Structure formats: structure tokens, C-alpha cells
């Protein structure tokens, strides 16, 4: 018996090729790109902190306001802009909840689109609205748990910062502790998200609830944890390599787009400048700029599609072997097996 995570690569590549290229359908790429935006997948970066040489002595105090002064200014700012702050926070929370809900439903839409090779956003969205809402609730609960854990482990740092004198050494230790906790929680969150992603096909094709599906995945994990461990390692390196390739391709494409669009823009600029008239200038340059922006977004969207499609096919192919009872009706990449429609509708 081999490693399913490695063996799934060949079929995942073939299925990605068949879905995206055989034949190439422009609107299929666009719809898959829109779905991929909602389900996420962006990398996470950590900034570098370079401390000046004058911070090297821990016993040396920094010339900063006292804790009382800081809290005084914060209290004053709060009383002055309390209404605007609350409105802003409410709007941000609402947008986060809305995006999380849409993302949860789109997870099912993405799987169904790739399994059937028929990208139909509205129909699948209505079909999987209920399980998507259940996933949304699970994600919100998990988000609250992770946030609570973060705040809990940060309490000692807050106490030290509020206890009295702030030294460079204390700030450095706090920064190291902060990013260490962020890294640990990011790993735990990634594992949790992977388990949920594996549970989604089970919800769809075994018609069970999301909690039941997660329990089954965890049970299977206890029985065969080596396969899932190799699967995680393989996916990490595959996603990292794919992200680099896609990033370079997007950068090259963006430079080419800018060069191609810049020449007509300069010609148009000089012609309009010679003719004179600010109204005519802006009346033509603004639409041109908007068209250039739309073209750039569409092309970059197309470039970003293959990686999430491949990664999802890799997950589904792995699930077929690791948990065959799920019975995912994936079409055979060479044309045999279950349905493989290339229909694309709204």
C-alpha cells in the first residue's frame, strides 16, 4: 500500500487539465475564479522586526509616555468618537460574518462544480445553503474558541505591560511570545480547516451533518493517521510551490499588461493634451483606466484558477482512496465513469 497523498497527484493533474483545458471555456474559468476568491487560500506573511542598536540594553528605559498617559488618551479618544467607533466595529463584524457565510456555502459549490465539471453557482448555492449555514456556525464557534485561546495565553503579557516600566527586553519578549502564539494557532487552525475540508464531501455524498462528518473523519484519522500526516506534508509543499509559480506568473502577466496598456494610454494622453480641454481628457482617460483595470483583474483571476482547482481535486482524489465509503462521484479524467458535463451556466 502506497501513500495516497502522493498517488493522488497524477489523477488530480489529469482532472484539472480536463476541467480547465479540455475544452477551454472562458466563463468557466471566471466562475471558478470567483468561487476560489470566496473560499480563500491566500498565504500568510509575518513581518520582520529590526530593533535599533539603542534597544540592546534591557535595563535602559524607553522615552515613551507612561501607561496612565496612554490610557488617558485612549479614554479621551473613545469618548470623543464613541459612536463612529461602534458603527465601524459593527460594520466590520457584519462584513466578516457575511463573507464567512458566503465562503462556507461556496465550499460546497466548489466541490460540486469540480465533481460534476459543471460550474453553476446560483443553482448549487441554493442547493447547499443549509449545509453551508451549518458550516458557517461551526466556523464561528471555532473562531471564538481560537480568539479566546489567544486572549487567554496573552494575559501574562498584558499584565507585564500594564504592571509598570516598559523596557526594550520586555517588548522583545512580548513580540516573540505574540508571534509564537500566532504560529501555533495558525498550525492548529490549518489542521482544523483541513479536517473540515475533508468532511465537506462526506456531508454532500453521505448526506450527514457537518458535526457527524467531522467525527467520522477524526475516527478514520485515529485508524490511519500516517496517511493523513503524509497528506498534510505533501499538500503544504504542493501549495507552497504552486503559490510561488502562480505569484511569478501573475507578476509577469501584470508587467506585460501594464506595458501593453501603457503605450495606448501615453498616445491617448499626448493627443488629448494637444487638443486641450480638461473635460474631454478625463471623459476618455477615466473609461480607459476602468477598462484596463477590469482586463487586468480578469486576466489575473484566470491565472489564479488552476492552483485551487488542482488542490481541491487532490483532496477529493485522496478522499476516494483514504475513505472509500464516501463514494465521491468524480468523473474519470480520460472520459470513463460518472458524468462529466462541460455545461457552464449562471
The pLDDT tens digits for 316-326 are: 999 988 988 88
Prediction pTM value: 0.76
CB 135 within 8 A of CB 107: yes
Q: Looking at residue 165, what is its pLDDT?
A: 63
Residue that is written with C-alpha cell 448555492 in the block:
125
Return the closest-CA partner of residue 8 out of 320, 327, 323.
320
Please state the separation of Cα 264 from the chain's center in Å: 35
Mean pLDDT in residue range 115-134:
91
Residues in Cβ contact with 334 at an 8 Å cutoff, skipping those fewer than 6 apart: 14
Strand partners, 345: 120
CB 149 within 8 A of CB 185: yes
- Name the most confidently modeled range: 66-75, 136-145, 216-225: 136-145
**What is the three-class DSSP state of 41?**
coil
**What is the three-class DSSP state of 62?**
coil
CB 195 within 8 A of CB 214: yes
Please give the residue range of the domain that contains residue 206. 4-345
Q: Looking at residue 68, what is its pLDDT?
A: 58
Overall number of domains in the chain: 1
Tens of pLDDT, residues 259-310: 777 777 777 777 766 666 566 667 777 777 787 778 777 877 788 889 999 9
Amino acid at each position: 500500500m502506497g501513500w495516497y497523498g502522493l498517488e493522488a497527484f497524477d489523477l488530480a493533474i489529469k482532472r484539472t487539465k480536463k476541467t480547465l483545458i479540455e475544452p477551454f471555456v472562458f466563463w468557466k474559468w471566471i466562475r471558478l475564479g470567483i468561487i476560489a476568491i470566496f473560499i480563500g487560500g491566500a498565504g500568510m506573511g509575518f513581518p520582520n522586526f529590526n530593533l535599533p542598536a539603542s534597544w540592546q540594553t534591557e535595563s535602559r528605559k524607553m522615552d515613551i509616555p507612561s501607561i496612565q498617559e496612554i490610557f488617558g488618551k485612549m479614554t479621551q479618544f473613545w469618548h470623543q468618537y464613541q459612536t463612529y467607533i461602534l458603527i465601524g466595529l459593527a460594520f466590520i463584524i457584519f462584513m466578516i460574518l457575511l463573507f464567512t457565510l458566503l465562503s462556507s456555502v461556496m465550499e460546497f459549490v466548489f466541490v460540486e462544480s469540480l465533481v460534476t465539471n459543471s460550474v453553476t453557482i446560483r443553482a448549487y448555492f441554493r442547493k447547499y445553503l443549509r449545509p453551508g449555514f451549518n458550516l458557517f456556525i461551526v466556523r464561528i464557534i471555532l473562531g471564538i474558541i481560537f480568539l479566546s485561546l489567544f486572549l487567554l495565553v496573552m494575559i501574562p503579557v498584558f499584565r507585564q505591560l500594564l504592571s509598570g516600566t516598559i523596557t526594550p527586553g520586555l517588548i522583545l519578549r512580548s513580540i516573540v511570545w505574540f508571534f509564537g502564539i500566532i504560529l501555533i494557532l495558525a498550525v492548529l487552525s490549518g489542521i482544523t480547516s483541513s479536517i473540515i475540508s475533508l468532511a465537506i464531501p462526506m456531508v454532500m455524498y453521505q448526506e450527514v451533518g457537518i458535526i457527524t462528518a467531522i467525527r467520522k473523519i477524526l475516527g478514520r484519522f485515529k485508524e490511519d493517521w500516517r496517511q493523513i500526516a503524509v497528506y498534510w506534508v505533501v499538500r503544504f509543499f504542493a501549495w507552497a510551490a504552486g503559490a510561488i509559480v502562480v505569484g511569478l506568473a501573475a507578476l509577469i502577466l501584470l508587467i506585460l499588461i501594464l506595458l501593453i496598456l501603457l503605450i495606448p494610454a501615453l498616445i491617448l494622453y499626448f493627443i488629448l493634451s494637444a487638443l486641450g480641454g480638461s473635460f474631454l481628457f478625463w471623459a476618455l482617460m477615466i473609461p480607459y483606466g476602468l477598462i484596463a483595470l477590469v482586463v487586468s483583474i480578469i486576466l489575473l483571476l484566470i491565472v489564479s484558477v488552476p492552483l485551487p482547482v488542482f488542490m481541491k481535486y487532490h483532496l477529493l482524489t485522496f478522499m476516494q482512496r483514504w475513505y472509500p465509503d464516501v463514494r465521491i462521484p468524480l468523473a474519470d479524467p480520460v472520459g470513463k465513469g460518472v458524468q462529466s458535463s462541460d455545461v457552464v451556466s449562471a
